[in-house]
């Protein structure tokens, strides 16, 4: 992690850093057409109740590799670890899987994921000293695709998703890589990106803060 934020404040542990964020803040959920598409490395998250699969692409957004799996403990601990990964990989944005219903509609799980991602965006800003855009992308069937890829023999199509890394880090990370590959392919073909995004200002707005829960989180 960085030793200090952009205003010279040394980031403390996760609990104290998160106290800097305000629950009254309402981030913008912009369609990507209203915000620039992020350049450079991206971190993708396949968010589950027990685990978060993590993948990353290179700075030219050409190759994707599964990175790791975060075994969820508490919201603060999860956010702290994700911030450390974002810092280590020097990413410019986060691609967050959105668990849509099979008909494309949003149910309670998708809405919960959006709320979780808002808290993640606030935590990343507090810990990294700069906001990272969080872009939502359809994660339907990513787990199924990951299972198929991991079952393929060496040298198959899975090699394009970092096959040798994926089998080391596990299915959830490969699912995140599938998600990231789908997003990058959509960007490359000019597909309309319509799942929304979170763009926070550089500094949190003022207002009373109750602070996020430090206990075990849902999604």
Query: How do residues 172-195 score in pLDDT, each as one tens digit?
Result: 999 999 999 999 999 999 887 789
Segments making up each domain of the chain, as ranges: 29-199
CA dist list (Å): 145 to 5, 18, 31, 210: 39, 36, 27, 40
Read off the pLDDT of residues 133-167 as tens digits, 9 standing for 90 and up.
999 999 876 655 555 565 565 555 555 554 444 45
**CATH no. for 29-199:** 3.30.420.140
Helix, strand, or coil (residue 207): coil
Question: What tokens appear for 61 in the block?
Answer: 């957004």
pLDDT score for 147: 56
Dist. CA 35–CA 47, nearest whole Å: 24
Residue 89, pLDDT > 70, answer yes
pLDDT score for 156: 56
| 89 DSSP 8-state letter | H
Angle between helices 171-188 and 142-151 (to 10 degrees): 110
- Listed in sequence order, the DSSP H helices in the chain are 14-18, 75-89, 108-128, 142-151, 163-169, 171-188
- Taking the whole predicted model, whether its pTM rises above 0.85 is answered as no
């Amino acid at each position: 992690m960085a030793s200090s934020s952009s205003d010279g404040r040394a980031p403390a542990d996760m609990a104290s850093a998160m106290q800097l964020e305000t629950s009254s803040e309402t981030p913008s959920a912009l369609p990507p057409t209203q915000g620039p598409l992020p350049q450079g490395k991206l971190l993708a998250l396949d968010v589950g109740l027990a685990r978060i699969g993590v993948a990353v692409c290179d700075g030219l957004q050409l190759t994707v590799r599964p990175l790791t799996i975060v075994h969820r403990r508490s919201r603060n601990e999860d956010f702290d670890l994700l911030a450390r990964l974002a810092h280590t990989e020097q990413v410019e944005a986060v691609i967050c899987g959105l668990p849509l219903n099979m008909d494309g509609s949003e149910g309670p799980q998708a809405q919960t994921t959006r709320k979780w991602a808002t808290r993640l965006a606030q935590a990343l800003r507090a810990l990294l000293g700069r906001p990272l855009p969080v872009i939502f992308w359809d994660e339907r069937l990513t787990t199924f695709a990951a299972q198929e890829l991991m079952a393929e023999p060496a040298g198959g199509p899975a090699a394009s998703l970092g096959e040798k890394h994926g089998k080391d880090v596990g299915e959830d990370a490969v699912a995140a890589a599938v998600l990231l590959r789908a997003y990058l392919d959509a960007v490359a073909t000019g597909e309309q990106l319509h799942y929304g995004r979170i763009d926070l200002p550089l500094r949190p707005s003022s207002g009373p803060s109750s602070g996020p829960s430090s206990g075990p989180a849902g999604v």
